[in-house]
Structure 1
Amino acid sequence: MSRIISGAAGGTPLVSVPGSLTRPTTDRVKEALFSRLEAFDVIAGARVLDLYAGSGSLGVESASRGASAVDLVEFDAKASEVCQRNADLVNTPARRKVVAVHRSKVESFLDRTADGVLWDLVFLDPPYPLDEPALGAVLAKLTPHLAAGAVVVVERSSRTPEPAWPEGMERFAEKKYGETRLWFAEPAPDEAPEAGLEDGE
């Protein structure tokens, strides 16, 4: 059973999506990922976007570790319901509503996002059938919504080629964990907005 690994809700079991609708990030990969992100100092106070959220595990983990706001985007009805149940684990009265769940296709959500809405940390764990041109199109829609210093994490099969990074985004690291590969990207230096959202805004 997957769990929230650390932070205010550390150790709390997460609800899983029934059947094989999603491909959850293993606790081993999640722990290594968040160790790296904390080394980058991009979680505390961050505005986080979890696309193709599945159970919402990565976004909820971010909230537990001090993110100021988290958006979970998942189109499947059952998975979206699980996202909400997991969001409720950290949206307690004592910790206010940090995590918002959006039942939407990723492309539609990004198309509807207002100009000036910026995220500091973005997770993308798209389903394997999503081909590389479609992923590249999503990354292109995302690029204008990255704050200065933002980190984008793309999780794919280790057999999948490197994503085609759009203009304005560039890869700065990658890491392989068994059958999983994580790609880390950031706004290109001359494309990042000069002023992102302040912590908690």
Structure 2
Amino acid sequence: MTRIIAGRAGGQRLRSVPGSATRPTTDRVKESLFGRLDAWGMCEDARVLDLFAGSGALGLEAASRGAAVVTLVEKASAAVAVCRENARALAASCPEAKITTVHSAVAGYLGRAPFHRWDLVLADPPYPLENAELTRLLSLLVGRLGPGGVVVVERSVRTGEPDWPRGLRRFERSDHGETVLWYLEADEEPRNDSGPEE
């Protein structure tokens, strides 16, 4: 079992995805990640997108810390069920947060999702995912960050730094044993889009 570290639902247990296919983020890494995000004021009233959500632990941590909208995107059916169960369990502590679970591959979701700008994107792809494929997926986020928006990518230190897509730039990294967190921000003006913002 993992847990919510802090915020309105601090200490609440979350169900883990059964089996070994999903690699949960450790509490130590989450504490470092959200310590930085809180210092930057990234969670309160934020629109948060949790890609490769697994159990939903990262997105739900953001909800506990005041995020207004959290979208959990996960393609594995077993993980989607766990995301939905964890989101329901969090609802009593965070009734003001709108939490949605989307059963979809990341590329498919980003390719068809209604246009809006995210304040915070959390991406914890499977370690075997090739860096070239990660770059392609991240390119789908270009122009979709709100002002001051941040993308955080969790990877193994062994995979090396990816080539970031044009339109995103890395501004910080944080190492935690076998895990590295890459922090990205927009490197160009957001695109104009006539579609509705939600």
Query: Would the TM-score normalized by the shorter structure come out above 0.5?
Result: yes
Write the distance in 1 (CA, Å) between the matches of 2:163 and 2:172.
14
Q: Give the counterpart of 1:191 among 157, 165, 189.
A: 189
Structure 2 unaligned regions, length at least 5: 193-197
Query: Do the aligned residues in 1 keep the contact of 2:154 with 2:179 (CA within 8 Å)?
Result: yes
User: CA 1:57–1:105 in 2, change beyond 3 Å: closer, same or farther?
Assistant: same
Write the distance in 1 (CA, Å) between the matches of 2:24 and 2:94.
28
| 1:100 maps onto 2:100 in alignment | yes
Write the distance in 1 (CA, Å) between the matches of 2:62 and 2:137.
22
Write the distance in 2 (CA, Å) between the matches of 1:156 and 1:94.
29
Query: Do the aligned residues in 2 keep the contact of 1:5 with 1:61 (CA within 8 Å)?
Result: yes
Q: Report how many aligned residue pairs link the two structures.
A: 193
Identity over aligned residues, as a percent?
A: 51
Query: Do the aligned residues in 2 keep the contact of 1:9 with 1:89 (CA within 8 Å)?
Result: no
Q: How big is the shift at 1:94? A: 6.8
Deviations 1:108-136 (A, max 9, x none): 00001223x11000011001121111100
Write the distance in 1 (CA, Å) between the matches of 2:159 and 2:94.
42
Question: Which residue is 2:144 aligned to?
Answer: 145
In structure 1, the residue corresponding to 2:3 is in which secondary structure?
A: coil
| 1:179 maps onto 2:182 in alignment | no
CA RMSD of superposed structures (Å): 1.5
Q: How big is the shift at 1:93? A: 8.4
Question: Which residue is 1:42 aligned to?
Answer: 42
TM-score, normalising length: structure 2: 0.93
Residue type at the aligned position of 2:177: G
Structure 1 unaligned regions, length at least 5: 195-200
User: CA 1:81–1:131 in 2, change beyond 3 Å: closer, same or farther?
Assistant: same
Question: Which residue is 1:58 aligned to?
Answer: 58
Residue type at the aligned position of 2:7: G
Residue type at the aligned position of 1:182: L
Query: Do the aligned residues in 2 keep the contact of 1:44 with 1:68 (CA within 8 Å)?
Result: yes
Q: How big is the shift at 1:72? A: 0.2
Q: How big is the shift at 1:86? A: 0.9
Deviations 1:126-162 (A, max 9, x none): 0112111110011100112111110100000011111
User: CA 1:157–1:81 in 2, change beyond 3 Å: closer, same or farther?
Assistant: same
Q: How big is the shift at 1:91? A: 2.0
Residue type at the aligned position of 2:9: A
Deviations 1:45-85 (A, max 9, x none): 00000000001000000000000000000000000100011
TM-score, normalising length: structure 1: 0.92
Write the distance in 1 (CA, Å) between the matches of 2:18 and 2:181.
25
Deviations 1:22-48 (A, max 9, x none): 110001110111001111111100000
Write the distance in 1 (CA, Å) between the matches of 2:90 and 2:168.
31
Q: How big is the shift at 1:92? A: 2.7
User: CA 1:146–1:93 in 2, change beyond 3 Å: closer, same or farther?
Assistant: same
Write the distance in 1 (CA, Å) between the matches of 2:97 and 2:36.
26
Query: Do the aligned residues in 1 keep the contact of 2:173 with 2:182 (CA within 8 Å)?
Result: yes
Residue type at the aligned position of 2:118: W
In structure 2, the residue corresponding to 1:142 is in which secondary structure?
A: coil
Query: Do the aligned residues in 2 keep the contact of 1:119 with 1:150 (CA within 8 Å)?
Result: yes
